[in-house]
């Protein structure tokens, strides 16, 4: 049965759920705004987080539309355009939790290439372009989207990660 209506929703991703690889990241608060700050160094660093979106029984399914990461770039520009990849896993479509991790499907995305030095909060908006509604015939369907962002920083670039949110359609 096709959906009768589609409602756009927003889900904030807590900064505490972010995973940081490579580089020295420290938690700080500047003027009451919490952030993780990467110390200046010429390197590629990876930031990842999960977006678990529950599909309630009254919903037909969900469709991810955008991922928005809020960053600050200080002292110097990034050395390259960030790379952002997205995959999803659905436990009801896999035979086990391990299979869900292995069978995660890649999703096509595009994003605006934010690279210039500006310590004020900036948004990297990633648009999801190949996603159909995730559904399993009316079952409760927890879908986890996995976001991985790679940033190449120059020797003097300071990178702040201030948070993220996702925008998705819920079909009912």
- Joined together, the tokens standing for residue 90 give 């659905």
What pLDDT digit, counting tens, does each position of 66-90 carry?
A: 889 999 998 889 988 888 888 876 6
What pLDDT digit, counting tens, does each position of 124-134 carry?
A: 888 886 566 66
**Cα 44 to Cα 21: distance, rounded to the nearest angstrom:** 9
Segments making up each domain of the chain, as ranges: 6-171
For 6-171, give the CATH class.
Answer: mainly beta
Q: State the chain's mean pLDDT as an integer.
A: 78
The pLDDT of residue 29 is above 70 = yes
Neighbours of 158 (CB within 10 A): 17
The pLDDT of residue 13 is above 80 = yes
Which residue pairs, CB below 8 angstroms and at least 24 apart, start in 103-107? 104/146, 107/64, 107/131, 107/145
Neighbours of 96 (CB within 10 A): 10
């Amino acid at each position: 049965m096709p959906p009768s209506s589609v409602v756009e929703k927003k889900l904030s991703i807590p900064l505490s759920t972010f995973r940081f690889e490579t580089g020295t990241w420290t938690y700080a608060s500047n003027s009451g705004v919490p952030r993780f700050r990467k110390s200046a160094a010429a390197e590629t660093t990876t930031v990842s987080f999960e977006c678990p979106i529950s599909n309630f029984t009254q919903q037909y399914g969900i469709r991810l539309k955008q991922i928005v990461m809020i960053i600050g770039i200080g002292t110097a520009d990034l050395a390259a355009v960030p790379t952002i990849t997205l995959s999803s896993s659905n436990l009801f479509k896999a035979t086990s939790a391990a299979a869900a991790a292995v069978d995660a499907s890649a999703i096509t995305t595009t994003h605006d290439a934010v690279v210039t030095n500006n310590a004020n909060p900036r948004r990297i908006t990633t648009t999801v372009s190949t996603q159909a509604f995730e559904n399993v015939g009316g079952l409760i369907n927890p879908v986890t989207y996995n976001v991985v962002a790679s940033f190449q920083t120059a020797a003097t670039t300071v990178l702040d990660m201030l948070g993220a949110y996702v925008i998705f359609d819920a079909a009912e």
